Chains A and B, each alone.
Chain A
Amino acid sequence: MLRRFLDSDFAYAFRRSPVAVISTLVVVVVVLAALLAPYLAPHNPFDLASLDLMDSLKPPVFSADGDSAFPLGTDDQGRDVLSTIMYGTRISLEVAVLAIGFSLVVGISIGLLAGYAGGAVDAVLMRIVDVQLTFPAILIALLVDGVVRALLPREMQEALEIDVIVFAIGISRWPQFARTVRGSTLIERGRDYVMAARVIGISSARIMISHILPNVLGPVLVIATLNLGLAILDEATLSFLGVGLPPTEPSLGTLIRIGNNFLFSGEWWITIFPGLTLAAMVLSINLLGDWLRDALNPRLR
């Protein structure tokens, strides 16, 4: 199985593309560092007992008065910047993956339904998509986030912090998936294998799920990869604006916002390092998504 994969066109195209190889490396390193943060991180920034205000605002190790215990320096609370980045990336990735997952479920269901049912159902659903696409996704996310927070009772807000932001980002990104799936579904539903299923009386729901879905999934997954990068940015933007995750659960965006306060007083490392991590991760994911899109499109071979 592995042998066959390594011999495939796909693997060959991958090896031949330095962009793909490098961005995969970056993504793998960042994801591993985030997932294994509790084991790899030099400090636990959430363990208040281990924090010492005497360690606060230490510069990175390569500057004159750096401390080798804190490779990328510390913030105003004395938290190790490298460790906060690792934990922050973890939260950012968690939010983005959940949000895109949610988006995919909503978008694929609506796209399949619109494409297969056609007629009035299609017209109504696609007009909703059109309307939503006229607003920037981040605006929708901001709006949804605000409305949901206002509706939730205060005591639940803390517990549902991550769920709210996942919902807000997810709901802002489904129309693209719905459109792509609808387009492919329109093509697939006229194919003979769908007719063959209809002749023996398979129900529409079954035809959509077991016949059409596997055939329309490819392009959507590529778009999902590209949107994963955007979702990470959405979360960072919301957190940077202060409506996302709180400093007690700092994502990359939160870290950048907190660090931003110290930028002009000379403590640049608190904001620059999380920013670089974010940029490297999103850029790599986007490059990888672009490459994937081209590699899976036989016409561009």
Chain B
Amino acid sequence: MSQQPRIVFEAIEASRSFDVSKGPLQRVLSGEGRRILRAVDSVSFGISHASTLSLVGESGCGKSTMARLAVGLYRPTGGEVRFEGQNLSAARAQPALRRKMNMIFQDPYASLNPRWRVRDIVAEPIRAFKLLQGPKDINDRVGQLLTQVGLSAKDGEKFPHEFSGGQRQRISIARALSSEPEFLVCDEPTSALDVSVQAQILNLMRDLQNRYGLTYLFISHNLAVVRHMSDRLGVMYLGRIVEQGPAEAIFRTPRHPYTRLLLEAIPDISSVGRRRTPVGGEVPSPIAPPPGCTFHPRCSLANERCRTEKPEHTRNDDVLVACHAVQEGRAV
């Protein structure tokens, strides 16, 4: 089995910036220039069939923007996003390919239309792609999908507000599956849920992945969740991926100082009372990122080179790291 796994989704130097300038008149009056926010900055990765790539990072690091780039809700302002070997917007123009991707959202209270019955929410992709004809077939399929995610077929008659957060996320999953997708983008699917419910949803998602060979792009800020889900991992900081590679390799030997800080911060029952080095400082503004390595103001290993020169990705075993200290062997 040395066959190269098929790459389902690929980002090639993908960037997305937003113009957050004031209005033209105010700009002239205050003498300010344009303000560009680079939410995602030259991000490259690929996801092979039936595997999960997770992106982790703090709030504002651009991971949700990346999720939206991946399903075509945003167009990249630079680079390219590819699905099944085609440019994403070309792929999305074909219903047969568009059907193969779907998204699960963070907040199950906002992602289900409050005025729609659950059966219509779940059936919308089926109707949109004309996968089934006739109300009876559609109803049967919706019932089957709801059972599959651990709800009852009768729940289709209800409205979203009659369900708990975990149940709603199951409805979202049923809806996402109803177009029979291959690729699911999951934007923090469990971060709005109780810890006990999180595990149920994650297990459900893994089951479904094994059963249908789903490919996941999984966005999260929770490293414990990510470890449970991922084959590969990308750590994002201020719009860039600072470290990416096989998830286990990164968890075992984190190289980038930022990855180490994140792993340090995971609560762990075996080391209660352990002294931690707190993550100092705030994430700098992505409108005016620091020069050189964007992490240098918070990094204990930063030197003059880090303050001036942007680090390139270098390969260590299977892991790509963008850090001068790692490259120079200063990080031990």
Binding site for B on A (CB under 8 A): 191-193, 195-202, 211, 214-215
Contact = CB atoms under 8 A, between A and B. Distances in A.
Nearest to B185: A199
Contacts of B102: 199-200
26 contacts: A191-B110, A191-B111, A192-B111, A193-B110, A195-B73, A195-B103, A195-B105, A195-B111, A196-B105, A196-B111, A197-B124, A198-B73, A199-B101, A199-B103, A200-B98, A200-B102, A200-B124, A200-B128, A200-B129, A201-B92, A201-B95, A201-B98, A201-B128, A202-B124, A202-B128, A214-B115
Given A193-B110, A196-B103, A200-B124, 13 more contacts: A191-B111, A192-B105, A192-B107, A192-B110, A192-B111, A193-B114, A195-B105, A196-B111, A199-B103, A200-B179, A202-B124, A202-B128, A215-B114
Interface in B56-74: 68, 71-73
A192 B128 contact: no
Contacts of B125: 200
B113 interface: yes
A195 B102 CA distance: 11
Residue from A191, A196, A211, A214 with most neighbouring chain B CB atoms (10 Å): A196
B124 A192 contact: no
Contacts of B114: 193, 215
B106 interface: yes
B103 A193 contact: no
Contacts of A195: 68, 73, 103, 105, 111
A87 to B, nearest CB: 40
B111 A193 contact: yes
A29 B98 CA distance: 57
B71 A199 contact: yes
B129 A193 contact: no
Nearest to B101: A199
Nearest to B104: A196
A201 B103 CA distance: 12
B255 interface: no
A21 B103 CA distance: 48
A295 to B, nearest CB: 19
A195 B164 CA distance: 21
A232 to B, nearest CB: 31
Contacts of B68: 195
Contacts of A215: 113-115
B229 interface: no
A192 B103 CA distance: 10
Nearest to A192: B111
A197 B92 CA distance: 14
B232 interface: no
A200 B125 CA distance: 7
B106 A192 contact: yes
B99, B102, B116, B124 pick with most chain A CB within 10 angstroms: B124
Contacts of A197: 124
B175 interface: yes
B319 interface: no
B142 interface: no
Contacts of A199: 71-73, 101-103
